[in-house]
Every structure is written in structure tokens, then in C-alpha cells.
A and B are shown apart, each in its own frame.
Chain A
Amino acid sequence: MKKSDVPQDKSNLKSSGFKELCYAVDDKGEYTTEKSSGWEPKTIALDNAMKDINERVIIAKEKVLRNQTSPIEYYMELTKMDLPILASYVGMWKCRVKRHFNPKRFDKLSNKVLQKYADVFEINIAQLKDINHGN
């Protein structure tokens, strides 16, 4: 890549005011660095990834409202986690966390366990129990 070809496309990077460093060749054929504000193919990939996450959040929310899953799954998707990551954060086995996705089991959870989840999601128990609370 030539230094003059380092892309300066619009991206989410630009709006947060920072540029990344790329390696490129100058006119003499020597390597140098150049800052890039973004590259469209990457921006699209990132945007799509964000869309996928948002879709997952919406689906989880609908499932909670239809009483098919517990708010834990919704908050897990909202914080971009998956089951292994969430299990690791709350310090429980994956299968146990998965059981807590069951709305009936979720209703029976003790405050101690609920607090663990609430701490990880950085919310309080009231918010954990009601996904519309404070949103």
C-alpha cells in the first residue's frame, strides 16, 4: 500500500476523534507510517456486527416479554456477552447459568444470586427483574 493510498474514509473512529496507525510505502519505496481515519470495508463489517448484536438484543427482549426466557439472557446480550463469558463473570458453571434463563427458576432465585448477576450487569435487582425498568 502506498502512503497516499492509506484510506481516509468516514468511520465511527472519526466521530470519536481518533485515528489508527497503518504501515505504508512512501514515494522512495521506503516503509513509513500514516494515520488512517477508517476504511469502508472495515466500517461495514463493524456496522454489521453491531447490527447483529442489536438484533440479538431485540430477540432476547421479545423472548423475555413472551416469558420464554429470563431477563438474564436479555442483559447478557445487551452487554455483548455469551454464556461462557457470563458464567466466568458470575463465577458459576455454564449449565447453572443456563438454567437461570428459565423464567420459572429465575423467579425463585435468592437475592444473593440475583445480586451477583446485577453486579456483573452493573444494575440493581429491580432493574434485573424488570427489563423495562429505567430504560
Chain B
Amino acid sequence: MEINFTHHQSAHCENGVVSNLMKFNGFDVSEPMVFGIGSGLLFCYLPFIKVNHAPAFTYRSMPGFIFNRFAKRVGVKIKREKFRNPKQAKARLDENLERNNPVGLQVGVYNLVYFPDEYRFHFNAHNLVVYGKENGNYLISDPVMETVTTLTESELEKVRFAKGALAPKGHMYYPIDFPKELQLEKAIVKGIKNTCKDMLAPVPLVGVKGIKLVAKKIRKWPKNKGAKVANHYLGQIVRMQEEIGTGGGGFRYIFAAFLQEASVVLKNEELLSMSKEMTEIGDLWRDFALDASRIYKKRSTKSDGYNDIATQLEIIANKEEVFFKKLKKAV
């Protein structure tokens, strides 16, 4: 049985699932719109969480937050279910498919067989849509993939019950109640205000302050951690920033695309020029990644290189600080 569901490739999995499920239900909402209204943009440095033996950096808000905020702000109700028992999880999934209801699932990446090996880490906050079942195989629409694919029952169970940090526990979700018409204006303003608040938060690890702190740390890495670890950490930053799903430049380009769309909806010219500014900031992030890669390509130990890219990050942080203060006033 197959539900008439259209797969659209997106940059990021969570926005993509939401955007695709909304489109299925007759609401044309783009990926940047979901990302912006859900206040997906962030920077956060998490030194106490180790991913792959290096501190975690994130350029987006917590998994699940984007959909929750988006739903709340546009007035969509979501049903979420988690399971202890894999059999029950499968039964509930099958029930929904019987009712012609495609659902979003949170899954672990490590056992996703259709991913290239290099991307199969123990990361548990990936999202995909199941839109049918054929010959015992589940039909999968993974938003970051170009086309749809399938998973066997046991493969799907494995990824739904992956273990470790952020274990999905069979997490399944789908929208159940929609407003008659989507009112985007207020939702957009709320989304933007929330992002500004996060990026300008007076917390050392978050937003602009977080970027500045990381810049400071980078200067110290070659001396304190040694060349090997410093290179590894730097690679981690670039991987998190340019990981599949960011759309490039640590989500900055998706956010700029959102501002452009928002300027049309709100008839606000200033947002259009802010969008251009954000694109330029995104370019700076790309330059930073490029220069950082030159250091770890050579596995160089010279602290000059580290100082240079730290300075680049500080420039970015200052620009983003000015940017978000201005954006706050623009809406």
C-alpha cells in the first residue's frame, strides 16, 4: 500500500519532514519558512558533550524544537508518540499507514543502510517520513536524499530503536489538526524575534557569545591540546557547520532565504536587505571553513594559522551581533 506522497529533497531533515508533511496536507510551506518560523538558527558550543571524541558544536536548535515552535506559531497540532516496545511501535506505524497517514520518524543514522559509510555515525536525531509499505518493505522519504528509498522491517526497527544520546525510542509524529488558513505574518515575526533573542543571549556558550568563546579556545588549542587534537577539533567544527542538512554556511543561507521570503509576506523591504547581509555573513562562514581546512589538511601545528581563523570567527561574531540587533528592530 502506498500513500500518494510527494518527495521533495531538502537541505535539512527536520525542516524537510515538516515541509513535506505540510505539503501533503495541502499547505505549501517551504523549507526556509519552516526553519525561520521554528527559529532553527543558533550557535551553541557544548564542551561537556563529546561527539566522536571532540566537543560538540551546533548551528541549529535542539532536535524537535523547530517543528514544535513552527506548529505552535502557525496553529498546527502535532501528535507525538514514543514507545518502549518495538512491536507496539511497529503496530502503531502500520495502523497510520493503513489510514493513509504518512508519519515522521526520528531515527539513528548509524544503521541507515542507504547512507554513505562516512556519514554513518551514532547520531540519533535524523528525521524521515514513512509513506507506505510494499511487500513487507517500508517506503521511505528521507528529505536529504534525492529520491525515495525503502527499508526492511528489521532495518527500520533498528534505526527507530537506536541507543545512546537522544535515543529516538521509536518516536513517531504527525500533524493532526490544521487551521483553516495559515497565518504566516505573526508567526514569522515571532520566529525572527526568538532567533534574535537566542543569538544575543547573555549566556557564554550560546549565540554570538558562544562564537566568541570558541574563537578564544581555538587560539589556545595548538598549545593546550597538541597538534593532533587541535586539528581534530577544528575538523569537527567544519563538519558540524557544513554537514549535510545545513544548506551551506552553518544554516546561514537557509536563514537568508527565509528572510527573503519573509520580506515578501510582510511587505518589509528592510528584510530583503537583511537577507543580503546574511548571505554575506554566510560567505564569511564558508571562508572560515575553507581556511580551517587548509590547516587540518596539512595537519599543521603553526599557531599563526589558528590565530588567523580565530580572528575570522571574531569578525563573524561581531557582524552577527550587529546583524541580530538590527533585525530585532526591523520586525
- In the assembled complex, the Cα of A13 lies from the Cα of B283 at a distance in Å of 23
| Minimal beta-carbon separation of A88 from chain B (angstroms) | 4
- In the assembled complex, the Cα of A47 lies from the Cα of B231 at a distance in Å of 12
- 9 residue pairs bridging A and B, Cβ less than 8 Å apart: A1-B248, A16-B116, A18-B145, A20-B11, A21-B10, A30-B260, A31-B275, A41-B290, A80-B122
Residues in chain A within 8 A of chain B (CB atoms): 1, 6, 12-13, 15-16, 18-25, 29-31, 33, 35-36, 39-42, 44-50, 52-53, 79-82, 84-85, 88-89
Whether A12 and B116, one on each chain, are in contact in the complex, defined by CB atoms closer than 8 angstroms, is yes
Interface size class of B (residues with CB under 8 A): 35 or more
Whether A85 and B122, one on each chain, are in contact in the complex, defined by CB atoms closer than 8 angstroms, is yes
Whether B249 and A1, one on each chain, are in contact in the complex, defined by CB atoms closer than 8 angstroms, is yes
Whether A1 and B242, one on each chain, are in contact in the complex, defined by CB atoms closer than 8 angstroms, is no
Whether A52 and B260, one on each chain, are in contact in the complex, defined by CB atoms closer than 8 angstroms, is no
> Which B residues are in CB contact (< 8 Å) with A52?
52-53, 232
Whether B256 and A31, one on each chain, are in contact in the complex, defined by CB atoms closer than 8 angstroms, is yes
> Which A residues are in CB contact (< 8 Å) with B282?
1
Whether A41 and B242, one on each chain, are in contact in the complex, defined by CB atoms closer than 8 angstroms, is yes
Assess whether B230 is interfacial by the CB under 8 Å rule.
Answer: no
> Which A residues are in CB contact (< 8 Å) with B243?
42
Give the contacting residue for B116; candidates A13, A22, A23, A45; CB below 8 A: A13
Residues in chain B within 8 A of chain A (CB atoms): 9-11, 32, 50, 52-53, 110, 116-122, 144-146, 163-165, 167, 231-232, 235-236, 238-239, 242-245, 247-249, 253-254, 256-257, 260-261, 275-276, 279, 282-283, 286, 289-290, 292-293, 296-297
> Which A residues are in CB contact (< 8 Å) with B164?
81, 84-85, 88-89
Give the contacting residue for A31; candidates B9, B239, B257, B292; CB below 8 A: B257
Whether A82 and B53, one on each chain, are in contact in the complex, defined by CB atoms closer than 8 angstroms, is yes
Of A15, A29, A31, A46, most B-chain CB atoms within 10 Å: A31
> Which A residues are in CB contact (< 8 Å) with B117?
12
> Which B residues are in CB contact (< 8 Å) with A18?
116, 145-146
- In the assembled complex, the Cα of A39 lies from the Cα of B243 at a distance in Å of 10
- In the assembled complex, the Cα of A24 lies from the Cα of B10 at a distance in Å of 13
| Minimal beta-carbon separation of B296 from chain A (angstroms) | 6
> Which A residues are in CB contact (< 8 Å) with B145?
18
The B interface is mostly helix, strand or loop, or mixed, namely helix
Q: Closest 10 A-B residue pairs measured CB to CB?
A: A41-B293, A31-B257, A23-B253, A85-B164, A88-B163, A45-B235, A16-B116, A23-B247, A22-B248, A42-B242
- In the assembled complex, the Cα of A89 lies from the Cα of B10 at a distance in Å of 31
Assess A25 versus B242: contact at CB under 8 Å? Given A45-B293, A80-B121: no
> Which B residues are in CB contact (< 8 Å) with A1?
248-249, 253, 279, 282-283, 286
Assess A22 versus B11: contact at CB under 8 Å? Given A46-B239, A80-B110: yes
Whether B120 and A41, one on each chain, are in contact in the complex, defined by CB atoms closer than 8 angstroms, is no
Closest-by-CB residue of A relative to B297 is A44
- In the assembled complex, the Cα of A40 lies from the Cα of B117 at a distance in Å of 17
> Which A residues are in CB contact (< 8 Å) with B235?
44-45, 48-49
Assess A46 versus B118: contact at CB under 8 Å? Given A24-B253, A52-B232: yes
Whether A23 and B120, one on each chain, are in contact in the complex, defined by CB atoms closer than 8 angstroms, is no
> Which B residues are in CB contact (< 8 Å) with A30?
260
Whether A89 and B163, one on each chain, are in contact in the complex, defined by CB atoms closer than 8 angstroms, is yes
- In the assembled complex, the Cα of A64 lies from the Cα of B119 at a distance in Å of 27
Closest-by-CB residue of A relative to B276 is A29
> Which A residues are in CB contact (< 8 Å) with B276?
29
Whether B144 and A21, one on each chain, are in contact in the complex, defined by CB atoms closer than 8 angstroms, is yes
Whether B146 and A41, one on each chain, are in contact in the complex, defined by CB atoms closer than 8 angstroms, is no
| Minimal beta-carbon separation of B17 from chain A (angstroms) | 14
Give the contacting residue for A42; candidates B238, B254, B279; CB below 8 A: B238
- In the assembled complex, the Cα of A118 lies from the Cα of B276 at a distance in Å of 54
Assess A23 versus B146: contact at CB under 8 Å? Given A1-B248, A12-B117: no
- In the assembled complex, the Cα of A45 lies from the Cα of B238 at a distance in Å of 7
> Which B residues are in CB contact (< 8 Å) with A20?
11, 144, 244-245
> Which A residues are in CB contact (< 8 Å) with B118?
12, 46-47, 49-50
